[in-house]
Structures are given as structure tokens and as C-alpha cells.
Amino acid sequence: SAYDTKTRQKVALKKLSRPFQSLIHARRTYRELRLLKHMKHENVILPSCVGFFSLFYFHRYLVTNLMGADLNNIVKCQKLTDDHIQFLIYQLLRGLKVLSESRNLNVDLKPSNLAVNEDCELRILDFGLARQTDDEMTGYVATRWYRAPEIMLNWMHYNQTVDIWSVGCIMAELLKGKALFPGNDYIDQLKRIMEVVGTPSSELLKKISSEHARKYIESLPHMPQQDLKAVFRGANPLAVDLLEKMLILDSDKRITASAALAHPYFVQYHDPDDEPEAELYDESIENKERTIDEWK
């Protein structure tokens, strides 16, 4: 962190890794800055401390509001109440709704990329690995423990509910106090997932475009789906019901961010008038060919 002498506020500094090393790095840096300016939302971190001239002379550091701890540190230090979990996940979904509905990106969602202040206000951080949802994915967008199965299995096209799986994993971790699927590698990760949600159905297997992934899954022994009420014994039944709708292998049947916000678990927070729709993000500028200096 640092102290801004102009605003007289503490601010956070994000050091970007070699932002202008190559054309790819320069384009990605430009994209992240532009996305941050586009996403004017309470639950998405904003570079509100950065003025036009700061951006013009920007070389390596991004200045944003200081939020305090990240969710990963909070989970390690204390047991959260159900009220805390409701409020945190509601805010996460509220921010995610804007990100997903604008077709901008699939965020690298994990506890360490969620900033929380002393008032339990949450903001989503880090868009450096963002991609359009209709791009073909390589499997390296999200951290493995929170990664949706369709990314690991190399399903080449998917929808916005890929991030809902990540939200489900984060919510499960808040309820249990530890990661739900802490796989040691991709194979172990998939095994841990299927031990809880069961083996993919024949209907779902037909949707897997990768023949190698499909044959591998078919070679595995059948695993029945566990009752999440037993996995999360003592948890709010409404929380478990929401998890059952999030942690679904078939992304086409997974709940959306908008539908999740309307779930009874968030009855004390849900307000359709206070859950804004996203403005469509125009990425045509980013698709143009430019030099590194022009991206700067």
C-alpha cells in the first residue's frame, strides 16, 4: 500500500508483471485498465484514484482503493457466520452478474482475488487473465481448486456459468473452513469433484468435444452423487440448496448469477432494482493491430 498525498488516502498498488514486454503483454495491460474503467460497480475494484494524466504516464503500477484483507486470509483466521457468508456471496454474485452479462470475461475467481474491508464489503480483483467466454480455453484461467470441470476437461466452448462453479467452490470453503476440492493435480482434482457430485451422465458425456477426455471419464469407476446436506452437515439448508444448483457438472444446467441472486438464501439482500445490468463491453479496439508504444 501507499499514501496518496493528493487525496490524502491510503491506496493499493498493483505491480503488473512486465506490462509492456511484448505486444501480447501490452495488449493485456491495456485490456485490464480499460475493463477497470468500464466496470463502474460497487463489487468490482476500480482505479478511482487514477486520473487521466496518471494513466497517460502509467508504466508499471496501477493505483486502486485500499480494501484491507482478502477472503483467503479471512477464512484462515476466523470461522464465518451464516450471515457473513450470505452477505459475501451475495456481493460476489452481484459483481459477477455485471461481469458475465456484459460478456466481458471469466474472472480468475478464488478467495485471494476477493478483497474485503472492515465493513464486510467485497470487491472482485484481477482481470489480467480475462477472456471472452466464446474463446477456446487452454485450461489455465482459474486456480485449479476453483476451476470448473469443463475447463479441466478441455470442453472447447462454454458459457458464463463457468464462474458460478468457482463461486460454489468459494462458498463451500466458507461453510467448511477449508477447500472443498483441494486436488494435487488435474487427475486428483477431477477425482475429488466426482466423489462429491458424481460421475457425469451419458447425456453430459456426449457434450464433451475432447475424445481423450471422454474416454478417460468412461474408464473411471461409477461414483454416486453425495447428499450435500451430509457434506455440509449443520449448514443453512438454503445455503446447501444453492450449492446444489451451483456445483453441477453440466454447465448448461448450472444456475446463472441472476437466478442465484434471486435464490431464497439471499432474501434479506435481494433487490432487482439494486442489481444493475451490465453495459456491453466493446472489445473491437483491442483487436486492432498496434505497436507496443501505441498500446502504451
d(CA 185, CA 255): 27
Say which CATH number the domain at 83 has. 1.10.510.10
What's the pLDDT at 133? 39
Is 117 found in the same domain as 212? yes
Query: Residue 197: how many CB atoms within 10 A of its CB?
Result: 20
Answer yes or no: are the C-beta atoms of 21 and 76 closer than 8 Å.
no
Residue 178 domain-assigned (yes or no) = yes
Pick from 70, 61, 152, 150: nearest CA to 109: 70
Residue 283 domain-assigned (yes or no) = no
Is 150 found in the same domain as 248? yes
Residue 107 domain-assigned (yes or no) = yes
Is 27 found in the same domain as 133? no
Residue 287 domain-assigned (yes or no) = no
d(CA 230, CA 225): 11
Is 265 found in the same domain as 207? yes
Active site residue ranges: 126
pLDDT digits (tens, 9 = 90+) for 76-134: 888 899 999 999 999 999 988 887 655 555 567 899 889 888 889 998 876 543 333 33
Is 101 found in the same domain as 191? yes
Number of domains, the chain: 2
CA atoms within 13 A on the CB side of 293: 0
Residue 286 domain-assigned (yes or no) = no
Residue 84 domain-assigned (yes or no) = yes
- On the question of pLDDT at 220 being above 70, the answer is yes
Residue predicted with more confidence, 292 or 55: 292
Residue 51 pLDDT class (50, 70, 90 cuts): very low
Say which CATH number the domain at 25 has. 3.30.200.20
- Domain that includes residue 227, residue range: 69-274
Answer yes or no: are the C-beta atoms of 261 and 43 closer than 8 Å.
no
The arithmetic mean of pLDDT across residues 137-142, rounded, is: 41
- On the question of pLDDT at 271 being above 80, the answer is yes
Is 13 found in the same domain as 148? no
- On the question of pLDDT at 282 being above 80, the answer is no
d(CA 61, CA 15): 5
d(CA 121, CA 91): 8
Is 169 found in the same domain as 116? yes
DSSP per residue over 255-269, as a string? PPHHHHHTSGGGTTT
- On the question of pLDDT at 161 being above 70, the answer is yes
Phi/psi at 214 (nearest 5 deg)? -65, -45
Residue predicted with more confidence, 69 or 166: 166
Cβ burial of 118 (10 Å; 0-12, 13-18, 19+) is exposed
Residue 296 domain-assigned (yes or no) = no
Is 84 found in the same domain as 62? no
Q: What is the chain's mean pLDDT, rounded? A: 80
Burial 211-231 (b: 16+ CB within 10 A, else e): eebbeebeeeeeeeeeebeeb
Is 43 found in the same domain as 23? yes
- On the question of pLDDT at 155 being above 70, the answer is no
**Cα separation values, 118 from 13, 19, 74, 173, 250, Å:** 19, 32, 11, 20, 37
Is 129 found in the same domain as 31? no
